[in-house]
Amino acid sequence: MTDPRPVIRLRPKTDPRRIRRGAPWVYENEAVTDRRTKALPPGTIARLEDAERRPIATVAVNPNSKIIARVLDLDPEAVIDEGWLAARLRAALDLREMLFDAPFYRLIHAEGDGMPGVVIDRFGDTAVLQPNAAWADVLTDTLTAALIDVTGVTTVIKNASGRARALEGLDDVSTVLAGGVAGPIPVPMNGATYLADVEGGQKTGLFYDQRPNHAFVARLAKGTDVLDVFSHVGGFALAALAGGARSALSVDGSAPALELARGGADLTGAGDRFETLQSDAFDALTALAEEGRQFGTVICDPPAFAPAKPALDAGLRAYEKVARLSAPLVAPGGTLTLCSCSHAADLTQFRQASLRGIGRAGRTAQLIRTGFAGPDHPQHAHLAETGYLKALTFRLLP
């Protein structure tokens, strides 16, 4: 029987072994982009062949993206239907149920879970889906049905915000796909309770990736005053308060995020030890230093300053500035945790920028831990982008 799917063919100079060994992407300059290929609707499922017409894999095609094909399955005959989606979801769910006692986690971490461009965060009976690749956007209804069937969630929300969808040529219209929610969802994590705004909040409403780093910093913060800058809904601050911190100050530019942080502090039973400051982070760091404030535990978890290679140099300067401005706020013997979620800045570059900033502030540091995203964010062996998060904890010497 003739395969009705279109064929995408690699250029003669493109080595197919990279794909056969697990690389998940085919770039536009690696494939034959003739008129027929360019006319394929974004999200088309196709068969990938090498230049000798030998089948390699089943791929999803988007002629509008620099990543023209995403590998879905190394079986060239794979059928991408609800059953295929359900199998990937079950495999991901099995891992999370081994890791966590409660259904609050990242369920699908894109290529790391074999579903390119797809992010799903779970909040109990609610799931937030980010179909950041064209194939997943086309199959949103089928994916939603499989998600409900496999996990038993009753509400599914499509979040269409973010840079990734724009790069795929997709819209930014978010919607409720099934069920509904009435306000922020309480999320238990590391002994604290967070409030996730899954409809109007940033990205899916909460960042699960920092969970192990929150826990480590909370141990260090016991009995100390905590400064959590770029705090979002209270990430490090609430975990520290739950772990016995004396007090915590959360700084963020978003008033709605800080309101959720205040609500989380109250639910955690630590509202009387929690303060917020709505401010530009750099302005706040400067002002606190001018006031002579110091804290036993300081954390800076900014947004991605270097989301892509063109922004790398500026991003590294920004990370250095964060370190330089925050180091004076750390009491002698206290700790400073600096984070980066930038794809383009690797661990070595980020560590060097952080140490330059600490040194320019006149402080001496010990690096006591290097942290990464939690195990519900599995890395794809061939894709550095899936290991984006870095968290460096320094002890600043007297």
Residue 341 falls in the annotated catalytic set: yes
| Pairwise CA distance, residues 134 & 43, whole Å | 5
Check: CB of residue 58 under 8 Å from CB of residue 80.
yes
| Pairwise CA distance, residues 93 & 293, whole Å | 45
In this structure, the strands spanning 44-49 and 55-61 are: antiparallel
Total H helices, total E strands in the chain? 12, 19
Strand order in the sheet with 247-252: 274-278, 247-252, 225-229, 295-300, 330-340, 390-396, 365-371
Q: Alpha carbon 256 to chain centroid distance? A: 20
Structure tokens that stand for 347 in this block: 């661990």
Structure tokens that stand for 380 in this block: 């794809």
Check: CB of residue 19 under 8 Å from CB of residue 71.
yes
Describe the crossing of helices 82-99 and 140-151 by its angle, rounded to 10 degrees. Answer: 40
Look up tokens 């300081």; give the residue. 298
Within the chain, residue ranges assigned H as helices are 17-20, 35-38, 82-99, 134-138, 140-151, 163-167, 211-221, 235-242, 255-268, 281-290, 312-326, 347-360
Tell me which of 195, 341, 361, 365 is the catalytic residue. Answer: 341
Q: CA of 47: how far to CAs of 22, 42, 56, 82, 375, in Å? A: 16, 15, 8, 19, 32
Which of 246, 220, 244, 241 shows the shortest CA–CA distance to 231? 241
Give me the phi and psi of 332, to 5 degrees please. -55, 130
Report the catalytic residues: 341
